[in-house]
Amino acid sequence: MNETTDTAHSVTEAAHHVVVESTNTFRIWFKSFLTWDNLFKLISALVVLLILWIVYRLIMRAVRKIRNDKMTPQRYMLIKKIFNYAFYIIIVMYILSMFGIKLSAVWGAAGIAGVALGFAAQTSVSNLISGIFVLGEGIMKVGDLITVGGETGTVDSVGLLSVKIHTPNNQLVRVPNSSIINSNLINTSFFSQRRLTIAVSVSYDTDMQTALDTLKKAPALCPTILTDPAPAAWFDGFGESGINLTLAVWFNKTDFLAAKNETFVAIKKVFDEAHISIPYNKLDVSIVERSANN
C-alpha cells in the first residue's frame, strides 16, 4: 500500500515539475517577445492592416456606385471577386513577410502547386478562365433567353464556372463556361426588339398582288406589333400546294407570345375577309364499282 502511494506521489511530482518547466519556458519566451521593437512592429502592422482595409472598403464603395450607374451585375461580380482575391492575397503576403518568410520561396511553392493543380483540374481551370471572359464580355445577363449546346432557357445566374438556366419546362440546366466559349451562343433577349417571320401559302388560283396586299394588312390588327421597324411581306417561291409568302413583323422582346398569337389570328382573319384560301394537302379517294361477274 505504501509503495502504491509513493508511486502515485512520484508521478504527481513529475507531472507538476513538467508543468512548472513548461510554464517557465513560456514566460521566458513571452518576456523575450515583449520588447519595444516587437511592440512597435505589432502596432505598425495593425496600422497597415487598418489602412488596407479602409482602402479596400473605399474601392468597393466606388465600384458599387459605378454599378448602380453603368455596370451590369455580372461585371460587378467579376470586379468584386478580383478585388476580394487581391485584398486577401496582399494581407497574407504582408503577414508572411512580418514573420520573416521569404516571398520568393512562397511564389515558387505556389507555382509548383499551381502546375500540379492545373494538371489535376484542367476542366475546372478551363471553366474558370472561360468564366472571366464570359463575365467580361457581358454577352448575357440574368433573365435573358439564350440557346447554347442545344439547350434553350432563361438565365438564372452567371458564375465563374458555369451558367445556370431554366428551360420552358422549368428544368435546371448547368452549362459550363468552356462550352459557352467554344460554341455558338444565341441570346434572344440581347436586343430590346425581336423579329418574327411567318410563312403562309395561298392557292394558285389567287391573284398574287391581292394576296400580297391582303397579307400586309394583318400587322395593323395586332396591338403588340411595332410600326418602326415597319412590317414587311414578300413572295417566297412556288410550292407544291400553293404560292408561298412570308410576313415579317417586329415587337418588343417581352411581347413574344402575344405578338405571335395576334399575328396568326390576324393573318387568318384578313384572308377570310378577302376570300383567300390557305391550301392544305388533300387525299382524293376514288371508289370503283365492279360487276359481280368480275
Which residue blocks in the chain are alpha helix, DSSP H? Answer: 2-33, 36-69, 73-98, 103-120, 122-137, 177-182, 208-216, 256-273
Whole-prediction pTM: 0.56
- Nearest alpha-carbon partner for 57 in 91, 80, 89, 90: 80
- State how far Cα 274 lies from the chain centre: 49
User: Is the predicted pLDDT of residue 137 greater than 60, yes or no?
Assistant: yes
Burial track 171-209 (b if 16+ CB lie within 10 A, e otherwise): eebebbbbbbbeeebeeebbeeebebebebbbeeebeee
User: Is the predicted pLDDT of residue 120 greater than 50, yes or no?
Assistant: no
> pLDDT tens across 63-93, in order?
777 666 666 666 666 677 777 777 777 777 7
> pLDDT tens across 240-285, in order?
888 999 999 999 988 999 999 999 999 999 999 999 988 876 655 5
- Compute the average pLDDT of residues 161-190: 88
Burial of 57 per CB tally in 10 Å (0-12, 13-18, 19+): exposed
